[in-house]
Structure 1
Amino acid sequence: MNEYPIALLSAFLVFLIILSAFFSSSETGMMSLNRYRLKHLSKNGNRGAKNAEKLLKTPDKLISVILVGNNFVNILASAIATIIAVQLWGDAGIAIATTALTIVVLIFAEVTPKTIAALHPERIAFPASYALSFLLKVLYPVIWILNQITKFLLSLLGIKSSDEGTDALSKEELRTVLFESSQRISPRYKDMLVSIIDLEKVTVDDIMVPRHEVVGIDLDLEINDIIEQIRHSQHTRMPVYKSDINKVVGIVHLRSINRFLNENQLTKSMIMQATREPYFVPESTPLHTQMFNFQKEKRRIALVVDEYGDVQGIVTLEDILEEIVGEFTTDIATFNKDITPQDDGSFIIDGTAAIRDINKALGWALPTEGPKTINGLILEYLEYIPDASLSLKLGNYYIEILQVKENIIKSARIIPAS
């Protein structure tokens, strides 16, 4: 090429450096694409996304065509730069060309284009995918030979080229994606999605209404007392039992007996006729399983039993939904009545209040592994039944026991440690 003018060779060298920048930015852009956004855009008809997705299905071929093009261009550019330098400076031009071309390639064909591609992968990768697809077709024989040699070398190292990665996300990875996408998803929706993921970590006994708070119809009471109880009930479904919740006979929907109630004709036999057989679930059932069980059984309320078959409480479909969307009822039986804020920043909390409900209401992090209530948490920590006025520090919380009655901590004052 010594007979070609330096100006022409210099123009060709600049063109080669531009091609090198194209291959470098294409590689970074294609590898930096968000696979899930790429699938979304492809499904919505974006041609660039479809083309890029097709190329990424065979990453070995994609990498091969980029590297073949990039190495060919860089080697040719090195040869051209050497010719130009030798014409200008003689034998010393070889060292000058090597140094100068290295600096130029690093700045203009590597660092700068790759940085731009990493910051804006879609703008680079989508247009580049058309050129790469064309080159893949033209260079296919060369790419095929290179891939066969590569597979042979990998087999010598004990690596199977058929081993493919997966884009499937684990639950923890999905949780991270949700938190990282906080600017695109409102906090409310993000919390709901995270709650759905966490359903399998929460069991029925974590959210059930405990046995001593269950409101039901005791058939051993006088009918007038039962009627009065139904008239003032805040619930639409109630368990029906005889003297003890363990002797439950079924679940009654108050709507089915309202007509008799309004006509003052309600009797215990009518209640029994309107009662549906009870539905029992183990206390260790994960919430996501129970939600599907409710759907399969066409139920909205279940009696929670322990390993001995004793009723421990009740759980409803609404309870599970509230775990996802948050509190949406005005029922007086919510946990708010158990929490009384004080002027000094502390809170007086009922001993039977559920720890998970307190954490949700106040944004605290009281331990939930083990006891379910404040009473149980304190007793487990102390390992004995304390007297009132005892103070202790549990983790990052100061607790003062205010009232102890019938071997149960009735109330306690709690304040987070500053």
Structure 2
Amino acid sequence: MTKIRKIFTFLLRLLALAATLSATIVMVTSHDSAHVLNLTFKAKYSNSPAFMYFVIVEAIVSGYNLMILFLASKGSLWPMVIIIDVVVALLLTSSMSAALAIAQVGKKGNTHAGWLPICGQVHKFCNHVTRALVAGIIAAALYFLLILYTLYTVLNPLNRTDPKLKTDLCSSVTLGIRCSSSSSDVDQTFEKSENDAAMTGGAFDFTRATTSLTDNKSIASSKKVTLVRHGLSSWNEESRVQGSSNQSVLTETGVMQAERCRKAIANMDFDQCYSSPISRAKSTAEIIWQGREEPLVFLDSLKEAHLFFLEGMKNEDAKQRYPKEYTTWREDPANFYVNGIYPVRELWGTAREAWKEILLTPGEHVLVITHKSILRALICTALGLGPERFRAIDVNNGGISVFNFNKKGEAMIQSLNMTAHMYSDHIYLY
């Protein structure tokens, strides 16, 4: 479906480029002359400021469209492209209006002002102008169609949700989440109370529930850690093995998912935000953390597992070319061995390093934005699970998980892979 959308958008832009180029060329080449009483009158587009404005706008839009056609579809750029598209459509409309007004006077004249029509004397010029205006109208129409289609694709995947699904999601929400929905079947709002534990039967104490992640070093205060997986990436979309590659970037959908995450936790106070420096996580973090005072902190210990030669390969190709390695990676990841190392086992060590750095840094509530495999390792190490349980945990794009830690660095999971905000306007208040 995404590929079809991209092809359709590309074709619309290509047609719009053809229309604006045609309008520019035809208008620029429009010229004619007439002889009246031994006098020669020349008609050309540069005689009219309105026609010159039309040519300038069409030429600029042609250049812009040509650039966009060859622009790499990096998710972080496309919101700006959508805004520019709207501006372009408005410019096309204004230039068309100005040129049409002058063309109408040239064809019909204006008896009230005493202006005579000129098309009877300069047929060639008027015909060229007419063709240029038709091409301009087509270009403007294509741009408006492009904007409408873009708005449809932006709003449709995330806002059109089965009412029953919304009902199920909202019904399963616990205290600490405000659930809102446009569906008339759903009218539930949950607000955070002053004593959640007393009202919900939540644990007051979880000493020795898990092993200390700080090697029994005391931390200044109990701590809450919110874990978020990055938004949909280009290689997620193409079903490629990502690993630690920096070539997989956020898609348009990924940007929207990051925006939804930002809104879902906008009312939460965080002391710090840690992120993987790899592109797809970094871009997600920049969107979610925008407007906050503290700078983002990028940790190498939050990088995704390095999968060597498998990275960038489509899953089906990797399965065919390296059946043994790929099968082990999928079915027995703890024993996946490549280039002299066990990537998943190493990931467990990396996760413990990340936990130490995060927990021993001052602050009561921190946000962590990273990748699926390292998130699995972070969650499993916090719960005392080994690498053989790697696939026991799943985290969706934009999924949010929450851990509480006591002063000994012992963990208790509060929420796992919350995704209600992906389907409706949930606001988390845990």
* TM surpasses 0.5: no
Structure with the bigger RCO (C-alpha within 8 Å, sep 6+) is: 2
Instruction: Report the TM-score when normalising by structure 2.
Output: 0.24
Instruction: Report the TM-score when normalising by structure 1.
Output: 0.25
Which structure shows the higher helix fraction?
1
Which structure shows the higher strand fraction?
1
